Structure 1
Amino acid sequence: MTIPALNIGGLSIPTPIIQGGMGIGVSLAGLAAAVANAGGCGVISAAGVGNAEADFKSNFVEANSRALAEQIRKARAATSGVLGVNIMVALTNFAETVKTAVREKIDIIFSGAGLPLDLPSHVPDENGPRLVPIVSSARAAALICRKWIANYNRCPDAIVVEGPMAGGHLGFKPKQLDDEEYALEKLVPQVVEAARPFAEQVGRDIPIIAAGGVYTGADIHKYFQLGASGVQLGTRFVATHECDADIAFKNAYINASEHDVQIISSPLGMPGRAIRNTFVEHVEADGKKPYSCPYHCLKTCDYTNTPYCISVALTIAKNGRCDHGLIFAGQNVHRVNSIVSVQELMNELTDEYAAAAATD
C-alpha cells in the first residue's frame, strides 16, 4: 500500500515525512532541499543559523536574519518541493526571524520550544506561510487553537505533537519522560481529539503530525492507525550524506550505544536528550560558568548562573569537535549504524510502511 500524501493548508507533501528542524546548523539548505526533492518536507532550523557570519556576536539579530534568508534562497534554488523553517518561541529574535521567513516566502513555519500564541500576529496574510505549532500535549494544542481563533480568526494548518523520545529540548518534566501516560502512542490520539472541534469550527482539517521516537516505516504506519496524518523525524536525517553537520558529528550518532544517551539539564531550564561525552561529564563534575553571554539568544537562559553557553556548545559539536561540545540526539540514536543518502532513507521508510500496511 502506498503511503498517503500529507496536505497542510493546501500544500501537498507527496511523502508525509517532515524532516525535523535541528538547530545550530545541523539542518540547513543542503539537508532541507534533499528531503524536499525526495518528496518530504525539508526544514531549515533558524536557531543559530547565522553562527558562521562574521558579525554573529556583535550584530546577532541581523546576522541571523541575513543567514536565514540566504539558506532559504539556497534551498529554493535546489528544489521545487515543500520547504519549512523551524523557529523556536524561546529565541530572543523570534519575531524578526518569523518576518524574515515570511519575506522569503517559505512554505511552512514550524514553531515550538514554548507556546507560539502570537505567531499569527507576525504572519497577517493568510496567503503567506502555513503555520504549524509543535506541542507536547492535547491541552497545549487546544489552547493554541482557541487563542488563534479568538485573537486572529485563524487556526493552525497542522499540529506537530512531539513525544518524550525526541532529541534536544523536551516539553516534559523529567519524571514524565519514562511515564507511559506521556508516551507518543497516548499523545497522538489525544491531540487528534483535541483538534477535532476546532477543525469543525473552521471547516477544514487540522492534520496531526507525530514526532519523537519515530524510526521505521512500521512506526509511521502505527501512528497513522492512531490518527496521525504525517510524521516528523530528526535523528535519522542526521546520518545522511546531505546533512549539514560535520562527518564527526554524524559518526557520533553511528557510534552511540543505548547507554550513551542521557537526559541533561539544559541552561534553558528544560530537560534535553544528548549523547554522553567528555563535555557532558565535565559539566556534571565541575562545569565552568561562561565569563559573558555572547549573544543572549534564548529568552529563558539565565547566563549568569548557567555552567555553559548552550549555543556555543552545540556549535562546537556540529562543527566536528564533538568531545568539546553538546550532541543532541533522539532516544533511538543507538539504532543508527550507517550513513545513507536522503533518498535511500525515504525509500526505506516508505517500503517499510507498505510492508506493515500489507499485514492489516
Structure 2
Amino acid sequence: MELPPLIIGNLKAPVPIIQGGMGVGVSGYKLAQAVAREGGIGIISTVQIGYKEPDFEVNTKEANIRALRKQIRKARELCPEGIIGVNIMVAISDYDSMVKTSVEEKADIIISGAGLPLRLPKLVLGSDVKLAPIVSSGKAASLIMKSWIRRYNRAPDAIVVEGPKAGGHLGFHLEQLQRGKECLENIVHDVIEVVNSFGCKKNIPVIAAGGIYTGRDIVKFLKLGAEGVQMGTRFVATEECDAHINFKRAYVNSKKEDIKIIKSPVGLPGRAINNKFIQKVEKNRIVPSKCYNCLKKCDPDKTPYCISEALINSVEGKTEEGLVFVGSNAYKIDKIVKVKELMKELVTEAESLYTNDKMTNLLKW
C-alpha cells in the first residue's frame, strides 16, 4: 500500500518525509534538491550558511544573506518542481534577515525552532510561504497557536514535534534527558490533541522528528496520527550531503558509546559525538578567536567555545577539532549511499508495513 502524501496547504509531497535542517553547511542545496527530487521535502539550513563566502570573516551577515539566496536558487534550478524549504533558528541574531531573504527567494516552507517563533507570521506578511514551528511539548504548541491566532489571525501550516532522540540542540532541560521519561510518541499525541482543540478550519499536519531511522519508524508515527516525519541523521551519510566526507565518515565510524549529551554555548543541551574537541572543552575553555555575533544570547567573554568555529571546523572535515552533532541512532549507519537509494529503502519498507492489520503490533513498539 502506498504511503499517504504529506499535504501542507497547497504543497503536496508524494513521500511524507522532510529532510531535517542541519546547520553550518550540512544540509545545503545539494542535499535539499536531492530529497525534493525523490518526492520528499528538502530543507536548507540557514545557520552560518555563508561560511564559504570569501568575505564571511569580515562581513558575516551579508555573506550569509548572499549565500542563502544562492543556495535556494541552486536548489530550485536543479529541482524546479520539488518542495524546497529552509530551517531558521529563532536563536540566531540575524533571524529577521534570514526570514525576509527566504520569503524574497520564494522558499516553499520555513521551519523554525531553537526558541519560540512567536513573531514569525509578522515577518512573512503578504507571502504564501508555509510556516512550521518546531516544538518539544504540547504546551509549546498551544502557546504558539494561541499567540499566532490572537496576534496575526494565522495558525501554523504544520507543526514539527522534535523528541529527545534528535541530533544537535534539543528543546529539553538536561534533567529531563537524564530522567529519560520524555517520549516522542507521547509528545506527538499531546500536540495532535492541542491542534484538534483549536478547531481550525484548515488541516495542520503534525510531523514527528527525532530518532526516526527506518521505514518501520515512519509507519509507527503515521499510525499514531502524525502525517509525516522529519529525518536528519540518515541524510548525513549520503553522497549528496553538503558536508565534507570526513564529517560523513564520523557518523559511519561512530559507536553507540561515542554519542553523548553535551552543554552547548546556546544554553541548550545537544547530542554530539564525544571526540577530542568535546573532551578538550570539558577540561578547559577554548577562547574564541573572534565573535561572529551569530547567537542572540551568546556572551563571547564567557562562552566555553565558539560554536560557529566548532561547527565550521567539522563541516570542513576537521572533525576532531570541532563539534559533530548527531541523532541518537547515528551509530547504526554503516555506509554512505545516494539519496535516491536511501529514499527507496525507507519507502519500500514503510509501504510493506502500511496496512491496517499491522497497526496493533506497530503501536506496541
What TM-score does the superposition give when structure 2 sets the normalisation length?
0.96
Other-structure match for 2:294: 297
Preserved contact between residue 108 and residue 131 of structure 1 (Cα < 8 Å): yes
Other-structure match for 1:206: 204
Partner AA of 1:341 in structure 2: K
- The CA deviation at 1:57 is 2.5
Q: Which stretches of structure 1, 4 residues or longer, exceed 6 Å deviation after superposition?
A: none
1:1-360 correspondence to structure 2 within 5 Å: 1-79=1-79, 80-125=81-126, 127-198=127-198, 200=199, 202-293=200-291, 295-358=292-355, 359-360=358-359
CA distance in 2, matches of 1:209, 1:279: 33
- The CA deviation at 1:35 is 0.2
CA distance in 1, matches of 2:151, 2:342: 41
Name the SS for the 1:315 alignment partner: helix
Partner AA of 2:195 in structure 1: A
Structure 2, unpaired ranges of 5+ = 360-365
Choose 51-60 or 240-249, whichever is displaced more: 51-60
- The CA deviation at 1:225 is 1.4
- The CA deviation at 1:288 is 2.2
CA distance in 1, matches of 2:65, 2:130: 19
Q: Once the two structures are superposed, what CA deviation does each residue of 1:115-154 show, in whole Å capped at 9, x if it has no partner?
A: 00000111002x4210000011100001111100111110
What TM-score does the superposition give when structure 1 sets the normalisation length?
0.97
Preserved contact between residue 268 and residue 302 of structure 1 (Cα < 8 Å): no
CA distance in 2, matches of 1:172, 1:274: 15
- The CA deviation at 1:292 is 3.5
Q: Once the two structures are superposed, what CA deviation does each residue of 1:43-68 show, in whole Å capped at 9, x if it has no partner?
A: 00000100111221222221111100
Partner AA of 1:21 in structure 2: G
CA distance in 2, matches of 1:292, 1:105: 33
Partner AA of 1:175 in structure 2: E
Identity %: 54
CA distance in 2, matches of 1:169, 1:316: 18
- The CA deviation at 1:195 is 0.9
- The CA deviation at 1:357 is 2.1
Partner AA of 1:86 in structure 2: N
CA distance in 2, matches of 1:154, 1:305: 39
CA distance in 2, matches of 1:110, 1:316: 25
Structure 1, unpaired ranges of 5+ = none
Q: Once the two structures are superposed, what CA deviation does each residue of 1:304-349 show, in whole Å capped at 9, x if it has no partner?
A: 1112100110110111011111100000001111111111111111
- The CA deviation at 1:278 is 0.6
Aligned-pair RMSD on alpha carbons? 1.0
Preserved contact between residue 162 and residue 212 of structure 1 (Cα < 8 Å): yes
- The CA deviation at 1:69 is 0.4
